[in-house]
A = this chain, B = another copy of it.
Amino acid sequence: MSETLSGFPEWLPEQELVQQRVIALVKANFELHGFTPLHTRALEPVSELLDQGETDKEIYGVHRLAAAADEKTKESKLGLHYDLTVPFARYVGEHRHELRFPFRRYQVQPAWRGERPQLGRYREFIQADADVITDGPLDVRFDVEMVRLLRETLDKLPVPRVRLMVNNRKVLEGFYRGLGIEEIAPTLRTLDKLAKIGPGAVKEQLVAQGRTPEQADKCLALAGIEMRSGADAEKVRALGVTHPLLDEGLAELSRVLDEVAAVGSPGSVVGALHIARGLDYYTGTVVEGVFEEHPNLGAVCSGGRYDNLAGDGKRPLPGIGVSIGITRLLAYCFHLGLLKQERKTPVHVVVAVHSEEDRARSEAAARRLRARGIPTLVSDSSAAYGKQIKAASALGVPYMFFPSAGEKPDEMRDLRSGAQAQVDLETWIGEGTELVIR
Give A residues with C-beta under 8 Å from B: 2, 4-5, 8-13, 16-17, 19-20, 31-43, 45-46, 55-67, 78-80, 91, 94-95, 98-100, 102, 104-105, 110, 112, 114, 124, 126, 134, 141, 263, 344-347, 359, 363, 367, 370, 373-377, 380, 391, 394-395
CB atoms of A37 and B17 under 8 A apart: yes
Q: Which chain B residue has the least Cβ–Cβ distance from A262?
A: B360
What distance in Å separates the Cβ of A215 from its nearest Cβ neighbour in chain B? Answer: 33
CB atoms of B12 and A36 under 8 A apart: no
Partner of A2, one of B78, B95, B105: B95
CB atoms of B99 and A13 under 8 A apart: yes
- Which residues of chain B are within 8 angstroms of A4 by Cβ–Cβ distance? 94
Partner of A5, one of B8, B43, B377: B43
Q: Given A20-B37, A39-B19, decide whether A62 and B61 contact each other with a Cβ distance below 8 A.
A: yes
What 6 A-B pairs have minimum CB-CB distances, sorted nearest first?
Answer: A34-B377, A57-B66, A64-B114, A8-B41, A31-B346, A36-B345
- Which residues of chain B are within 8 angstroms of A359 by Cβ–Cβ distance? 141
How far, in angstroms, from A376 to B67 measured CA to CA in the complex?
Answer: 49
How far, in angstroms, from A384 to B236 measured CA to CA in the complex?
Answer: 41
Which of A67, A124, A347, A391 has the most CB atoms of chain B within a 10 A radius of its CB? A347
CB atoms of B373 and A36 under 8 A apart: no
Partner of A10, one of B37, B39, B59, B112: B39
- Which residues of chain B are within 8 angstroms of A42 by Cβ–Cβ distance? 42, 110, 112, 124
Counted per complex, copies of this chain come to: 2
What distance in Å separates the Cβ of A97 from its nearest Cβ neighbour in chain B? Answer: 11
- Which residues of chain B are within 8 angstroms of A60 by Cβ–Cβ distance? 62-65
- Can you pick out 22 interface pairs between chain A and chain B where the beta carbons lie within 8 Å of each other? A10-B40, A12-B98, A13-B38, A32-B375, A32-B376, A33-B370, A33-B375, A34-B376, A36-B345, A41-B124, A42-B42, A42-B112, A43-B124, A46-B65, A56-B65, A56-B66, A58-B66, A59-B66, A60-B64, A100-B394, A100-B395, A104-B345
- Which residues of chain B are within 8 angstroms of A100 by Cβ–Cβ distance? 344, 391, 394-395
How far, in angstroms, from A376 to B32 measured CA to CA in the complex?
Answer: 6
- Which residues of chain B are within 8 angstroms of A124 by Cβ–Cβ distance? 41-43
Q: Which chain B residue has the least Cβ–Cβ distance from A19?
A: B39
How far, in angstroms, from A43 to B62 measured CA to CA in the complex?
Answer: 11
Which of A12, A41, A124 has the most CB atoms of chain B within a 10 A radius of its CB? A41
How far, in angstroms, from A42 to B95 measured CA to CA in the complex?
Answer: 27
CB atoms of B380 and A102 under 8 A apart: yes
CB atoms of A16 and B2 under 8 A apart: no
* Given A60-B64, A64-B114, 18 additional A-B pairs, CB 8 A: A2-B94, A5-B78, A10-B40, A13-B99, A16-B37, A19-B39, A20-B37, A31-B375, A33-B375, A34-B347, A36-B344, A42-B110, A58-B64, A59-B65, A60-B63, A65-B79, A100-B391, A263-B363
